[in-house]
Amino acid sequence: MTAKSITMNRAEFEEIKARLIQLDAELKRLLAQPLVYATVVKADTKLLGEDGGENVVITFDGKLLEVHGSPGMTFKPSDNVKVDLETMRILA
C-alpha cells in the first residue's frame, strides 16, 4: 500500500482548527458536573467559612453534603438551593 498525502491551504486549516476548538468546548460542557437543586437540611449562622459565607448541609441523591454559600446569603432548613457539584458552592 502506498502512502498518500493530503494537502490543504491555510484557510482550510484555520477552518478545521476553529471547528476543533468549538467541539472541544462543547465536549467540556457536556462532561461537566451539572448544576443541581438540593434541599437544605441544616443551616447554622455559626458555621461560617473563611470568606464569611455560611456552610450548610444539603441532601442530594440520598446523600448528605456540606456545601458553602456566598457571603451575605442565609439559609434555613427546607430551602431549595442551586448547587455546583464541582465547586460544592451554592449559587445565587
Instruction: Output the pLDDT for position 28.
Output: 87
CB burial class (10 A; 0-12, 13-18, 19+) of residue 85?
A: middle
Domain with residue 62: its CATH number is 2.40.50.140
Instruction: Assign 90 to helix, strand or coil.
Output: strand
Instruction: Output the pLDDT for position 73.
Output: 84
Evaluate whether residue 28 is within a structural domain.
no
Instruction: Output the pLDDT for position 51.
Output: 62
- Low-confidence residues in the chain, pLDDT < 50: none
What's the structural domain count of the chain? 1
Q: What pTM does this model have?
A: 0.56
Angle subtended at Cα 39 by Cα 38 and Cα 40, rounded to the nearest 5 degrees: 120
Instruction: Output the pLDDT for position 19.
Output: 97
Evaluate whether residue 23 is within a structural domain.
no
Q: Give dist(CA 19, CA 5) in Å, integer.
A: 22
Nearest to 33 by CA among 70, 80, 65, 77: 65
Evaluate whether residue 84 is within a structural domain.
yes
Range of the domain at 49: 35-91
Evaluate whether residue 22 is within a structural domain.
no
Evaluate whether residue 75 is within a structural domain.
yes
- Which amino acid, 63? K
Evaluate whether residue 3 is within a structural domain.
no
Instruction: Output the pLDDT for position 17.
Output: 96
Query: Which residues partner with 55 through β-bridges?
Result: 68
